[in-house]
Amino acid sequence: MTSPLGRRVLLGISAGIAAYKSAHLARLLKKAGCEVRVIMTEGAQAFITPLTLQALTGEAVRTSLLDPGAEAGMGHIELARWAEIILIAPATADLMARLAQGQADDLLTTLCLASDARCVMAPAMNQAMWRHVATRRNARQLQEDGWQLLGPDAGDQACGDIGPGRMLEPEAIMEELFKSPEAAPADSLDARGLSITLTAGPTRELLDPVRYLSNHSSGKMGYALARAAADLGARVKLISGPVALETPPGVERIDVESAREMHEAALRLARQSDVFIGCAAVADYRAETVSEHKIKKTDDQEGLTLKLVKNPDIIAEIGAMQEKRPYLVGFAAETQNLESHARDKLQRKKLDMIVANDVSQQGLGFGSDHNAALLLWRDADGEAAQRHFPATTKAMLARSILAAILEGLPHSQGRTS
């Protein structure tokens, strides 16, 4: 569990009956040693007064974007820079909708858009509102944008309904807020000076001019890793198969289509890299012969036989490098025997670390914005170690994986210049 001591937490409170819990949450944050400043929406003040939060935190509570006194020195920008964590509790359906659309029409939403802080929210609303397709869509969008959602819980609600939508209890929020590697202060994760190369997405292996062999990889996990690495200051090169994703800011993207094209780019860049992360779902086989023209179906044809040949094993070849070998991280997408298959791959391909995930789980892995992972590596003494990351957004998981890589990177390994 990461220590809360000295953490700068900006607590946002929106208009819900659960706002009464925010007073207790502010008290717990202060008791844990956090610096706490509070922003309240106009509606939140109908449920709890700013004076209450001021008394608990010892800091003036901000309620208005257009406060002449506070804004004389661009106060909202200073607050945005000050915060290490923005925690919104409760987060109403209305606030989630506005943030999902990128609106900045009050002080709280403006701060969220102006800050690079870790962003966390604890949703709270009626169970029907939480289940509504619009709210679910907004929740997915927020998670894709990097927000961490804590809850909601299920149970009795103030309106008399029973179901999901209750804000997590303050003690549970505190536990979730500081228990994982992504809770580490931004300045404790530093990848400046590191050269990181990643592969992401699927490959396509042509059969003829209109058909190909491929898989369900969306590239989202690799792109989340590339974005997180760039955010931490690394020089990032992303070798990408065909995906429908925008290039993350600060990332150099190299587009490829086939496994052989990815193989050529990967071996060329691996020798220039401190860390190589093989996240792509590379096709194991390709057609021995690619038809010059579209393969036609005939009336007397009962079936079609394709002869496939092996593609080069990118990650294994990098693992076998004798000189200028980067710290090597592989991925294993499995549907059964997750740990045993991952351990075998870690050993057989001479990886330093492997990230294994069960793609048979509903809502996780291929195409999803969420993932869970088992991380396996060899420690400084060569002993096997592991860490399990429960289901979360790929953006948050990417930060956790990079934290583990930076922790495991040999101190003696020089960073490329």
Domain final position from 130, 159, 179:
179
CATH assignment at residue 194: 3.40.50.10300
Residue 354 has what pLDDT? 95
Least Cα distance to 327 among 407, 238, 212 occurs for 407
| 293 shares a domain with 224 | yes
In this prediction, residue 74 carries a pLDDT of: 44
Residue with tokens 């309620």: 63
By residue range, what is the domain housing residue 162?
A: 8-179
The model's pLDDT over 350-397, given as tens digits with 9 standing for 90+, comes to 999 999 988 777 667 677 777 888 999 877 666 678 888 877 778 878
CB proximity list for 48: less than 8 A, separation 6 or greater: 13, 19, 20, 22, 23, 40
Task: Identify the sign of the CA torsion 285, 286, 289, 291.
Answer: positive
Same-domain pairing of 276 and 205: yes
**Same domain flag for 159 and 207:** no
Question: Which residues are annotated binding-site positions?
Answer: 278-280, 284, 294, 312-315, 331, 345, 349
Say if CB 371 and CB 394 are below 8 A apart.
yes
User: 315 and 286, same structural domain?
Assistant: yes
Banded model confidence at residue 164, pLDDT cuts 50, 70, 90:
confident
Q: Is the residue at 414 inside a domain?
A: no
CATH number for the domain spanning 110: value is 3.40.50.1950
Res 186 pLDDT > 60: no
Question: Cα dihedral angle (105, 81, 147, 151), rounded to 10 degrees?
Answer: -90
Cβ neighbours of 217 (radius 10 Å): 24
In which residue are the tokens 């042509």 written?
206
**Residue 76 is assigned to a structural domain of this protein:** yes
Confidence of residue 327 (pLDDT cuts 50, 70, 90): very high
Region 300-309 average pLDDT: 85
Question: What is the maximal distance between C-alpha atoms in the chain?
Answer: 85
250-303 pLDDT, tens digit per residue, is 899 999 999 999 999 999 999 999 999 999 999 999 999 999 999 888 877 778
| C-alpha–C-alpha distance, residues 221 and 48, integer Å | 41
Indicate if 143 and 213 belong to the same structural domain. Answer: no
Whether residue 349 sits in one domain with residue 203: yes
Cβ proximity of 358 and 364 under 8 Å:
yes
Residues annotated in the binding site for CTP, as ranges?
A: 278-280, 284, 294, 312-315, 331, 345, 349
Give the DSSP letter of residue 294.
Answer: P
Contact 4, 26 (CB under 8 A): no
* Together in a domain, 196 and 119: no
Boundary (domain end) residue, out of 179, 214, 244: 179
Nearest partner of 138 among 108, 100, 104, 105, judged by Cα = 100
**3-class secondary structure, 34:** coil
- Report CA Rg, the chain: 24
Active site residues: 159
Number of structural domains, the chain? 2
Look up tokens 């994982």; give the residue: 180
The pLDDT of residue 109 is above 90:
yes
